[in-house]
Amino acid sequence: MTASAQSTAPAHNPDLAKVPLIPRNALFGNPTRAAGKISPDGEWLSWLAPKDGVLNVWMAPFSNPDDARVMTKATDRPIRQYFWAPDSRSLLYIQDKGGDENFLLYGVDIASGEERTLTPFDNTRVQIAGASETIRDRILVGLNNRDAQYHDIWMLDLNSGELTEVLRNEGYAGFLADDSLVIRMAIKPNEAGGMDYFAVEDGTVAEEPTESTTLADSLTTSPAGYTTDGQTLYWIDSRGRNTAALIAENTKSGERRVIAEDDRADIGSAMQHQQTGEVQAYSVNYLRNEWTALDPEIGKSLDFLRDNLKGAFGVQSRTRDDTRWIVANDPLTEPAQSWIYDREAGSLTPFYTARPELEGAPLQPMQAFEITARDGLTLPSYLTLPAISAPDAEGKPTKAVPMVLLVHGGPWARDAYGFNGMHQWLANRGYAVLSVNFRGSTGFGKDFISAGDLQWGKAMHDDLLDAVEWAVERGVTESDKVAIMGGSYGGYATLAGLAFTPEVFACGVDIVGPSNLQTLLETIPPYWVPMIRQFHDRMGDPNTEDGLALLKERSPLHSAERIVRPLLIAQGANDPRVNQAESDQIVDAMRTRDIPVTYVLYPDEGHGFAKPANNIAFNAIAENFLAQFLGGRAEEIGGTLHDATAEIVTGAEFVEGLEAAQIRNEDA
């Protein structure tokens, strides 16, 4: 590993100075390569890689991987999501502007290199509504250019660019098409807080639903697609059970059979036959992701990969004839790698290492634990310890160190086992890092989700407090040496932690977190409006007296005067989910009361930071903030502000080195 970073390691922890400092750039800068794929016809390899410092799509012939060329021309925001057209004639990607999440679809012809905007509309967010194995030159897209709340369905000819309207959306949250690109199902929220599923024939939606869910199953039940012949419809379904099972429904008879189920966790993802669409393998992710094969030949391939790869792996791209796979490999304490797997030859060929600068770096293993909440609920959790507190044979730390409680967003999402750049960064700075799947997190059954209903800032927060107590009792940390940090819901949890339990955490870092749940619900993106009933049922209904009172009670803004510990806030000005006002409000409330707060605003970002320079600049500020108030070490802020768009709205004086960096940036 190459490292020229300078550290400000605290004098009271000389052991930490012996561990090489991993530069922020190595963890959060552009990867050398990422998102490797193979074209459906097997003729081309593709990946994301920097061009003039910005991630773009590259490709090369499979027969000559060194003959690479860049296919896109992004010069500002990185391209983060792309895919192959089914006919292998073009590369497709989506991109927004400044983080506004109005994603448009772009296509690049691989023969001519011509790039076109395939959905050339203002204030529009495209959705991919259907793709086909047998009709390879067209896809279905959803466009909300007519009504921002609803996506109409259009047929897109990928080669001519022609758009033809297929179905006008009059109030539905989504649609499902078969392999013939025919819409066969419409999905609409219902008054029970769940979804109604309507049959669609000849473009006409039936008046009565054929299937329905209530709130309890709304996040754990959904159709998962048809087989190519249209005779089987797969469901991920929790109705009549707790964890979601994989169900196969005969579309003619209606007969259903259980393909896979697990009492610990929901069925996660599936591998399907490239031509028939039949499920060949499925995964379950409880503490770790585990694959089970249904098809014997797929089972042999998965066994081969388990035997020949270190750590975890996943199949991220397959040829149409399924002879070649692109396999992502996470060795956990080494940089991620990508491999080309030839199933017929039984060979693995290196494709690339995502971050070769991390080779030899002191990366730390992640440990998985079950933590018991005060009411007996089991919380699947993940802990990474710094090198100076390496676990013993029983997984217990050898010494207590400061800890960062890193809270995931959503909250209807989850933390998972594997390489985590945030965990590695913070552990390298001397902190234990704990991520907790608190109640309301997804993946562990509907009962686990429902346990979080109307519990923002209450039982969901109690789970975090119980996890901190567990860490203290286990000797991971000391009770006065814990910070709380997170983005989105994790940012809310940070604000709630400092406002509702002001003496628990030594400091907090809030990234795009809402401070006022009432205004959060009033300003959600228009395309989320069809789902508003679920938000009200799970958070609190502002249209009722009790619901409004609940939202105000659980809003950190209304308890801002209780905050006594240092707080760092970051916000994207273009965030459509958590508007800038959410950060402005609590910063203003704290400044009015002369409560110290540091506020960093990014004018060209949205819900999180897409540009590596902005991400690195904020992490530079954050690690110096944590070092000052928690006692780890930090790489100097240096010139990171010069390369970023960060505006220090207030509180530069509360982070060591930030005022000086700001002055240098202004003078440059």
Q: Is the pLDDT of residue 401 over 80?
A: yes
In a shared domain, residues 376 and 316 = no
Can you point out the beta strands (E) in 331-471? 337-342, 347-353, 366-372, 378-384, 403-407, 432-436
Q: Is the pLDDT of residue 284 over 60?
A: yes
Closest CA to 439 of 418, 402, 403, 466: 466
In a shared domain, residues 344 and 374 = no
Contact 311, 330 (CB under 8 A): yes
pLDDT band at 396; cut points 50, 70, 90? confident
Provide the number of structural domains found in the chain.
2
Place of tokens 């209606």: 254
Given 178, 575, 583, 604, the catalytic residue? 575
Q: Is the pLDDT of residue 4 over 50?
A: no
Region 241-259 average pLDDT: 97
Q: Is the pLDDT of residue 651 over 60?
A: yes
pLDDT band at 245; cut points 50, 70, 90? very high
CB atoms closer than 10 angstroms to residue 102: 23
Q: For residue range 478-529, what is the model confidence (pLDDT) as tens digits?
A: 999 999 999 999 999 999 999 999 999 999 999 999 999 999 999 999 999 8
The CATH number of residue 596's host domain is: 3.40.50.1820
In a shared domain, residues 350 and 454 = no
Examine residue 225 and state whether it is found in any structural domain, yes or no.
Answer: no
Tell me what pLDDT residue 278 has: 98
Examine residue 633 and state whether it is found in any structural domain, yes or no.
Answer: yes
Q: Is the pLDDT of residue 370 over 80?
A: yes
Region 130-152 average pLDDT: 97
Q: Is the pLDDT of residue 76 over 90?
A: yes
| Cα atoms found within 13 Å of the Cα of residue 328, Cβ hemisphere only | 16
Give the span between the Cα atoms of 170 and 168, in whole angstroms: 6
Examine residue 217 and state whether it is found in any structural domain, yes or no.
Answer: no
User: Phi and psi at residue 60, in whole multiples of 5°?
Assistant: -155, 155
DSSP H helices, 243-364, are 296-308
Q: Is the pLDDT of residue 14 over 80?
A: no
Examine residue 150 and state whether it is found in any structural domain, yes or no.
Answer: no
pLDDT band at 5; cut points 50, 70, 90? very low
In a shared domain, residues 500 and 439 = yes
Q: Is the pLDDT of residue 668 over 80?
A: no
pLDDT band at 13; cut points 50, 70, 90? confident
Neighbouring residues of 246: CB distance < 8 A, sequence distance ≥ 6:
224, 234, 235, 236, 237, 258, 259, 260, 261, 267, 270, 279, 282
Q: What percent of the chain has pLDDT over 70?
A: 98
In a shared domain, residues 340 and 395 = no
Given 435, 488, 515, 559, the catalytic residue? 488
Examine residue 102 and state whether it is found in any structural domain, yes or no.
Answer: no
Region 347-361 average pLDDT: 97
Q: Is the pLDDT of residue 2 over 80?
A: no
Tell me what pLDDT residue 558 has: 97
Last residue of a domain, one of 354, 385, 404: 354
Which structural domain range is residue 370 located in?
364-516+562-667
Give the span between the Cα atoms of 246 and 588, in whole angstroms: 49
Examine residue 645 and state whether it is found in any structural domain, yes or no.
Answer: yes
In a shared domain, residues 316 and 429 = no
Q: Is the pLDDT of residue 341 over 80?
A: yes
Q: For residue range 410-460, what is the model confidence (pLDDT) as tens digits?
A: 999 999 999 999 999 999 999 999 999 999 999 999 999 999 999 999 999
pLDDT band at 1; cut points 50, 70, 90? very low
Q: Is the pLDDT of residue 572 over 80?
A: yes
What is this structure's pTM?
Answer: 0.96
Contact 647, 602 (CB under 8 A): yes
In a shared domain, residues 396 and 314 = no
Tell me what pLDDT residue 390 has: 81
Examine residue 451 and state whether it is found in any structural domain, yes or no.
Answer: yes
In a shared domain, residues 331 and 373 = no
pLDDT band at 9; cut points 50, 70, 90? very low
Region 204-219 average pLDDT: 96
**Tokens coding 297:** 């030949």
Q: Known catalytic residue: 575?
A: yes
Neighbouring residues of 386: CB distance < 8 A, sequence distance ≥ 6:
16, 19, 364, 401, 427, 428, 429, 430, 431, 432
Report the DSSP pairing between strands 432-436 and 403-407.
parallel
In a shared domain, residues 310 and 393 = no
Tell me what pLDDT residue 303 has: 98
Last residue of a domain, one of 334, 354, 374: 354
In a shared domain, residues 425 and 484 = yes
DSSP H helices, 209-359, are 296-308
Tell me what pLDDT residue 12 has: 52
Q: What percent of the chain has pLDDT over 90?
A: 94
Q: For residue range 451-476, what is the model confidence (pLDDT) as tens digits?
A: 999 999 999 999 999 999 999 999 99
Contact 147, 132 (CB under 8 A): no
In a shared domain, residues 350 and 375 = no
Angle between helix 459-473 and helix 489-500 axes, rounded to 10 deg: 80
Place of tokens 């061009």: 51
In a shared domain, residues 317 and 441 = no
Last residue of a domain, one of 308, 324, 354: 354
Q: DSSP string spanning 399-438?
A: S---EEEEE-SSSSS---SS--HHHHHHHHTT-EEEEE--
Give the span between the Cα atoms of 92 and 84, in whole angstroms: 6
